[in-house]
């Protein structure tokens, strides 16, 4: 049987790379990109594949149960890869309720719709939930997050993601749904919304604006190129064992301040500025409330059991990322001006 896969959040940063990979690699699958097009959803990310026969975009909100049930019915959805979420920690500190709505209530709505649509034949369908390493909390004394590390979320964002993970496992246990979860570290690469550290700094260096470093810049994150995450999602979706969790990461830890210095160096070279020029923009600002000190993923399980590994070294990935942003200034301008939000009506409503 060919699949009809609902990919939620497919207009966002990671989701758009997953949609592209699946549309290109699996022409016999029907790919339904379901996205509410919040501020983070941008259909310009998918211009290159939007007219493919095996691709459909549906504007819908996972918080609205009826809308979701209709999509399951109309598109005969066989599987779900769920990425739609509110994803920015700083926004979750300012407005936790939006995170509880989309990340918790939205995920439960999706599970309910899948449960209804697949009743009596759960063994033929897969619900794949894409989660984050932040559910494990903050590392202070060395070590790595493994799949059995107890959950200890510290921000409203990570608490909402942890909650959604628990619901997915509860639906597998209670109703026998076939689920799989992955928890990934920080992604970077093309189409990253410029509220997150790396694209924000690229944009600000380009425009000679201050580079805001929270606290002393000593916090550590493990970074993975977004296309490598999409490749991992492909592998877990097809070969991951039902009921299992897979950690995904790059074995690539960096202090924030070192990343920003690297970006300054690379951008000085590419923009023809004297070396050290952009570093003058570094500005230490008030720390994020409850700022997690360090995340570090042990990705041995997915590497050993499913044969996945990252394809890029960080320095190479940063070069590619900076090149992409410099070559796509219009994308960045549209995002920072808000014009990207007109794209949906131009592309889909005025036709």
> Active-site residues: which are they?
133-134, 157
Residues 6+ apart with CB under 8 A from 245: 147, 180, 181, 182, 183
Give the CA dihedral 20, 23, 26, 28, nearest 10 degrees. 170
* Least spacing, CB of residue 284 vs ligand NAD, in Å: 23
Q: How far is CA 284 from CA 45, 218, 262, in A?
A: 32, 11, 16
* Least spacing, CB of residue 162 vs ligand NAD, in Å: 11
83 touches ligand NAD (CB under 6 A): yes
The entry of ligand DAU, ligand NAD, none near residue 41 (CB within 5 to 8 angstroms by kind) is ligand NAD
Selected from 30, 33, 38, 278, the binder of ligand NAD by CB under 6 A is 38
Residues 6+ apart with CB under 8 A from 222: 133, 185, 186, 249, 250, 251, 252, 253, 254, 295, 296, 297
179 touches ligand NAD (CB under 6 A): no
* Least spacing, CB of residue 51 vs ligand DAU, in Å: 30
Residue 244 phi, psi dihedral angles, 5° rounding:
-90, 165
| Interacting span for ligand NAD (CB under 6 A) from 120-128, 182-190, 316-324, 331-339 | 182-190
Complex with ligand NAD: residue 8 or 256, whichever CB lies closer? 8
The entry of ligand DAU, ligand NAD, none near residue 165 (CB within 5 to 8 angstroms by kind) is none
Complex with ligand NAD: residue 15 or 204, whichever CB lies closer? 15
CA 177, CA 171: separation in Å to the nearest integer?
6
Residue 222 host element (H or E) = strand 220-225
37 touches ligand NAD (CB under 6 A): yes
Complex with ligand DAU: residue 258 or 315, whichever CB lies closer? 258
Angle at 296 between CA 312 and CA 310, to 5 degrees: 20
The entry of ligand NAD, ligand DAU, none near residue 130 (CB within 5 to 8 angstroms by kind) is ligand NAD
**Which residues would be at the binding site for ligand DAU (CB under 6 A)?**
87-89, 132-134, 185-186, 196-197, 200, 212-214, 219, 221, 256, 288, 295
- Interaction residues for ligand NAD, span 115-174 (CB under 6 A): 130, 132, 161
Which of 207, 188, 184, 208 is closest to 198 using CA atoms?
A: 188
Which of 61, 252, 309, 82 is closest to 182 using CA atoms?
A: 82
Selected from 19, 49, 58, 61, the binder of ligand NAD by CB under 6 A is 61
260 touches ligand NAD (CB under 6 A): no
The entry of ligand NAD, ligand DAU, none near residue 294 (CB within 5 to 8 angstroms by kind) is none
Give the CA dihedral 35, 41, 42, 47, nearest 10 degrees. -30
Complex with ligand NAD: residue 118 or 136, whichever CB lies closer? 136
Residues 6+ apart with CB under 8 A from 63: 101, 102, 105, 106, 109
Q: Which residues in this chain contact ligand NAD in the complex, by CB under 6 A?
A: 8-9, 11-15, 35-38, 40-41, 61-63, 83-87, 102, 106, 130, 132, 161, 184, 186-187, 193
């Amino acid at each position: 049987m060919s699949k009809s896969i609902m990919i939620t959040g497919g207009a966002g940063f990671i989701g758009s790379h997953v949609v592209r990979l699946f549309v290109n690699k699996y022409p016999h699958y029907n790919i339904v990109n379901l996205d509410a097009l919040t501020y983070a959803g941008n259909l310009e990310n998918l211009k290159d594949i939007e007219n493919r026969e095996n691709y459909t975009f549906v504007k819908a909100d996972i918080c609205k149960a009826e809308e979701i049930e209709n999509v399951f019915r109309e598109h005969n959805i066989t599987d779900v890869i769920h990425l739609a979420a509110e994803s920015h920690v700083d926004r979750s500190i300012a407005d936790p309720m939006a995170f509880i709505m989309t990340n918790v209530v939205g995920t439960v709505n999706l599970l309910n719709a899948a449960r209804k649509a697949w009743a009596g034949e759960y063994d033929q369908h897969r619900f794949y939930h894409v989660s984050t390493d932040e559910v494990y909390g903050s590392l202070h004394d060395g070590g790595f997050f493994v799949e059995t590390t107890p959950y200890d979320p510290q921000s409203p964002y990570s608490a909402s993601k942890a909650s959604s993970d628990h619901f997915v496992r509860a639906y597998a246990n209670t109703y026998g749904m076939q689920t799989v979860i992955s928890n990934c570290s920080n992604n970077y690469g093309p189409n990253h919304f410029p509220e997150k550290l790396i694209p924000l700094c690229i944009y600000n260096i380009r425009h000679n604006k201050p580079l805001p470093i929270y606290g002393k810049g000593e916090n550590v994150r493990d970074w993975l190129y977004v296309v490598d995450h999409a490749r991992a999602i492909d592998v877990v979706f097809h070969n991951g064992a039902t009921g299992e969790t897979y950690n995904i990461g790059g074995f690539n830890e960096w202090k924030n301040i070192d990343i920003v210095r690297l970006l300054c160096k690379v951008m000085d070279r590419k923009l023809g500025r004297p070396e050290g020029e952009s570093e003058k923009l570094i500005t230490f600002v008030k720390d994020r409330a409850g700022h997690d000190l360090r995340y570090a993923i042990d990705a041995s399980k997915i590497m050993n059991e499913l044969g996945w590994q990252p394809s890029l070294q960080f320095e190479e990935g940063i070069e590619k990322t900076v090149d992409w942003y410099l070559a796509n200034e219009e994308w960045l301008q549209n995002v920072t001006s808000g014009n990207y939000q007109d794209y949906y009506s131009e592309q889909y409503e005025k036709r």
